Amino acid sequence: MDQDPGNTAGRELLEAGSRLTPFCATARSEEEQNQPNAEISCQVSNENPGKDGLQDSSASQGSNSSMTTKELQEYWKKEKRQCRQVNLVFEIPSTRIVEHHLSKYVMYKIIILQTGSFDCNKSIIERRYSDFEKLHRKLLQDFSEEMEDVTFPRKTLTGNFTEEIINERKLAFKDYLRLLYSMKYIRRSKKFIDFLTRPELEEAYGCLRGGQYTKALEILSEVIGLQERLTRGNPVSVVPTLCAIVVCHKDLENPVSAFEYAEKALLRLCVHTSHRYYIPLLETMITLAYELGKDFLALQEKLEEWKTKKHPVKIFTLKELAVREYVQ
């Protein structure tokens, strides 16, 4: 039987409309389509997975679906900023001789600055000759080829505390750090980053465990800037430090500052929902939001969504996780 052309055309329009509606509801905007995926945006972090000690094995790329469009846009903006190369320079302007019981050694003051603009957030640390020596031995284990032409100032049997030897070593260590930082895989390595940050972090966490929150916060606030600069390609790596700052502010009854740093930490975990800090951080933020009179429904939804997808496991509190960091 011949079909009525008018009815056929009507049915085709209806079918086309039914196909168009779901497409429009799920189609991404042009801006969203231009957002790179996680693998591309942080490709700089994956160039040498064998040598780069900063990879986060718990990254969950599939969790993008639980984020709103605004959260995704903010996340990728942050990722792009984090993955840009930041050039640092190292200065060693002064030294001091330390005498402790039967030992005597020289402490070298290292100032770390960001190039390209006036850096008001310079980082200042102190290291001794034996610290540099340990770093050199560790790097030789993993980067023997890269370290072939890197010279290290040798110890002398006498004269280690003369002004001439100290000044020579100041210049030598400055060139040494500059050269190490110029090599991509070394500057991203955990061993190099630990040399520049771990002593201060260990001291800070020791203070935190001892209830000295003001002192811990003072040290953490100093080291977080340097840690962020050194780990631009792996923003998740600073989450423990940010959360330790949250714990300090919370215990010092500074909920506004605690919530501010918690938001920074959560932004870095928005596609890493399997990270051990994710749920404790959400729970802490909900408590802080309630205390501050903020809307916490979105945070609660994230928490409930995670619980429905995961099997019941023991979850430590944010403070319990923090006090476990850097425990030998």
- The CATH number of whichever domain residue 118 belongs to comes to 3.30.1520.10
230 and 162 share one domain: no
Cβ 254 vs Cβ 59: under 8 Å: no
182 and 267 share one domain: no
| SS3 assignment, position 93 | strand
225 and 319 share one domain: yes
220 and 312 share one domain: yes
Q: Among candidates 266, 265, 190, 199, which has minimal Cα distance to 231? A: 190
Cβ 63 vs Cβ 75: under 8 Å: no
- pLDDT attached to residue 73: 64
Q: What is the pLDDT of residues 48-94, one digit of tens each?
A: 444 444 444 344 444 444 556 666 666 656 555 544 556 899 999 99
| SS3 assignment, position 230 | helix
Asked if the structure places residue 80 within a domain, the reply is no
228 and 315 share one domain: yes
Asked if the structure places residue 227 within a domain, the reply is yes
184 and 229 share one domain: no
- Flag whether the pTM goes above 0.85: no
Asked if the structure places residue 73 within a domain, the reply is no
Taking the C-alpha atoms of residue 319 and residue 316, their distance in angstroms, rounded to an integer, is 8
224 and 177 share one domain: no
Number of domains in the chain: 2
265 and 175 share one domain: no
306 and 228 share one domain: yes
Asked if the structure places residue 158 within a domain, the reply is yes
Asked if the structure places residue 310 within a domain, the reply is yes
- pLDDT attached to residue 308: 85
220 and 319 share one domain: yes
Q: Comparing 327 with 318, which gets the higher pLDDT? A: 318
311 and 270 share one domain: yes
Taking the C-alpha atoms of residue 260 and residue 87, their distance in angstroms, rounded to an integer, is 27
Asked if the structure places residue 31 within a domain, the reply is no
Above 70 in pLDDT, residue 187? yes
- pLDDT attached to residue 75: 62
Above 80 in pLDDT, residue 10? no
Asked if the structure places residue 165 within a domain, the reply is yes
- pLDDT attached to residue 154: 85
CB-count burial class (<10 Å; 0-12, 13-18, 19+) for 118? exposed
93 and 177 share one domain: yes
Domain span holding position 283: 216-323
Asked if the structure places residue 51 within a domain, the reply is no
Q: What is the pLDDT of residues 263-309, one digit of tens each?
A: 999 999 988 999 999 999 999 999 999 999 999 999 999 999 988 88
Range with top average pLDDT, 33-42, 70-79, 144-153: 144-153
Domain end among 188, 207, 231: 188
- pLDDT attached to residue 294: 95
